[in-house]
Every structure is written in structure tokens, then in C-alpha cells.
Amino acid sequence: HKHTYGEDDASPNKLIIDKLKVLLDHYLRMKDEWRILSYRKAIAAIKRQKEPITSYQEAIEIRGIGHRTAEKIAEIVNTGNLKRLQHFSKDDEVIKKFSDIHGVGPSIAMKWYAKGYRTFDDIIQNVKLTRAQRIGIECYDDLQERIPRDEITEISKRVEVAACKIDPKLLCITVGSYIRGQPTCGDIDILITRNDSDGKSSLDSFLKLLDALREQGLLTHDLTQHNEEKASSRYLGICKLPDGKYRRIDLFIVPFNELGAALLSFTGNDIFNRSMRLLARKQKMKLNNHGLYKNISRGRGGVSLTEGTLVAQRTEREIFDALGVPWRPPNERNC
């Protein structure tokens, strides 16, 4: 939904509109379709009024405003406040708190709220949580905090040292918001590759690295499962320095020849990525974290039907060049 700030400022009923908008926001979160419609109608009707509304009687006479809304308007003009809002903001706090758990989105949070759960204890006792959600609750307070750069530098160093001990050909690059120069980051993203001219599998080294990092206590919780049978190139977990807080860490293993495409993709930010991918698309190409491809034939809905021909993947610059965009350093990709 869109707010139309500018024009409301001029309304003689700005206070009423503002309060009703808080109600509308609440019902939008609750997905209460009927009330959403009713408040949208009411707000639109009030915006059309050129004179201040001063009583229940004046409110009820306006088309689109019913008995209940008129009562609320009367409360606002008489007391300057709406008692219901205090109650609602507490509900919203609970939903926000639930949806901030790792592995929980707004729709799950809302479902739990609707069942009457209000605390983490309620959830733990009544819901069959996924592994990731259990860890998310266990480390909740730490995971809400942003990570200072210096700490990421230190953690990255430890990962790099461990990697080099296992396989000197492993190369670690910390990407994400860190490489874009942000002073604090939401998580730690490390890209790992192996200059693999000798053809040895880098996945094997990756598994050894994970073991070594668990052993030294840097990795404390796995959010994804990794073993010999089911080794993915993407590890999500939690790490912690000896006296530090629990931090989210993502490790990505990428083939050396795809390093440029992977760097471009995992450096982000997501908005920059979207614009680069759109640019590729406009030139009938496709860009993903593996490379830039041409001769893509797209079916309905823009789904690509063929893999296409590889244009570039080894370095970022080759990809920028092929797209006809001047290269930009990561700190200029904070869109």
C-alpha cells in the first residue's frame, strides 16, 4: 500500500488520518481484508473533507464512514488519542519479535500469534520447531545485533588461516556488506574457491574446513546439514569468537573459473544485483552467480528455456565489459 504523505499534511484532519493509518497498518499486517477495506474507504473519505471534523455527528454524516469509525474519530478529536492503538502496538511487537527469529517469516509469526502464542516459551512448548528455528531462538538476542567490521575482519582471518592449513590453494574472500565497506553488517559472507588446476575436488577441502572450524569452536551451530553424501556448496551457520556474540555466517564454495560471477553476485547489494540482471535481460542475456550467458530463448513468464552460450564468468570486469557497463568498486554498489 502506498502512503500519500504530502497531501495529508494539508488536511485539517491530519491527526485523525494519522491515527486511522496506524490502525490500517495493523490490519494490513493481520491480513484482515474486511477492515483493511473499511479503513481505506474511511481514510479516503476524510482526506476529501475541507473542514475539520469536530464530533461524532459530523463524522457519521460523511459517506464511507460507519458507526464504529465515527466513534473512533470522536475519541481522537476529544482526547487527541485512540486507546486501541496502545493495545494494537503490543500485538504488533509480538508478531515482529516472532518474525525476527531466524527461519521464521511474517506468515508463520502471524499464524503463531493467531493461535494465541505470545512468548518464546509458548512457542517452544506448543510448536514443532525446525532445527534452524530452535537455534534462532537459542541465539535470538545476539542475532538481532549488527556485527562491527573489526569483528568480521578477525573471524575472516581465522577462517583463512584454517583454510590455508587444510589446502594452501584455497582462497577466501569476505563479500556481502563487508566488502561494500559497511561499518556494521547483518551477517558474515565468505566466498571460498580453489585454484584447482590440479583437478582435486574443492568440496572435499570444504568439508575438512568446516570440521576444523567446528573443532576450534568458531562454528557453533549448523543451519544447513553437510556430510559426504549431501555436500552442498552453501553453508549457513552460526559462529562465535571466544569472548564474542553468536553471529550468522554464510560460506559459499565456488568453482575458480566462476569466481567473477560469484563475486559479483555475493557482493551485492541485492538491488544492485537486480539492476545488473535486468540489464543483461534487456540485451537478451542472462546473469546469475555462475556467469553471463547469451542466446537465451525465453518462454512464457520470462523463464529461460536454454542455458545459452557462456559470455563471461572468470572476472567481474569481463562481465561488466560484456554488459557495456563501466566497472564499479564494491563500495559504490550500496544502492
Which residues would be at the binding site for ligand DCP (CB under 6 A)? Answer: 176-177, 185-187, 189, 265-266, 268-270, 273
Shortest CB 182 distance to Mg ion, Å? 9
Smallest distance, Mg ion to C-beta of residue 231, A = 22
Rounded to whole angstroms, the maximal C-alpha distance in the chain is 84
Look-up of cell digits 583454510: 163
Of 14, 47, 72, 286, which residue is the catalytic one?
72
Q: Which helix (H) or strand (E) holds 235?
A: strand 234-239
Q: Which residues bind Mg ion (CB under 5 A)?
A: 176, 187, 189
Q: Which of the choices ligand DCP, Mg ion, Mn ion, none does residue 268 contact, using the CB cut-off of 5 to 8 A by kind?
A: ligand DCP
Choice between 65 and 250, CB closer to ligand DCP: 250
CB of 187 to Mg ion, least distance (A): 4
Kindly give, in sequence order, each residue whose CB lies less than 8 Å from that of residue 159, ignoring residues fewer than 6 positions away.
Answer: 172, 190, 209, 213, 218, 251
Interaction partner, residue 270 (ligand DCP, Mn ion, Mg ion, none; CB < 5-8 Å by kind): ligand DCP
Rounded to an integer, what distance in angstroms lies between the CA atom of residue 107 and that of residue 77?
A: 35
Q: Is 260 in contact with 209 (CB distance < 8 Å)?
A: no
Query: Which residues contact residue 157 at a Cβ distance below 8 angstroms, ignoring those fewer than 6 apart?
Result: none
> What residues make contact with Mn ion under the rule CB under 5 A?
187, 189, 250
Q: Answer yes or no: 208 catalytic.
A: no
Question: In the complex, what is the shortest distance from the CB of residue 41 to Mn ion, in angstroms, rounded to a whole number?
Answer: 42
**Residue 112's binding partner, choosing from Mn ion, Mg ion, ligand DCP, none, with beta-carbon cut-off 5 to 8 A by kind?**
none
* Residues counted in the chain: 335
Residues 6+ away with beta carbon under 8 Å from 215:
none
Catalytic positions, please?
Answer: 72
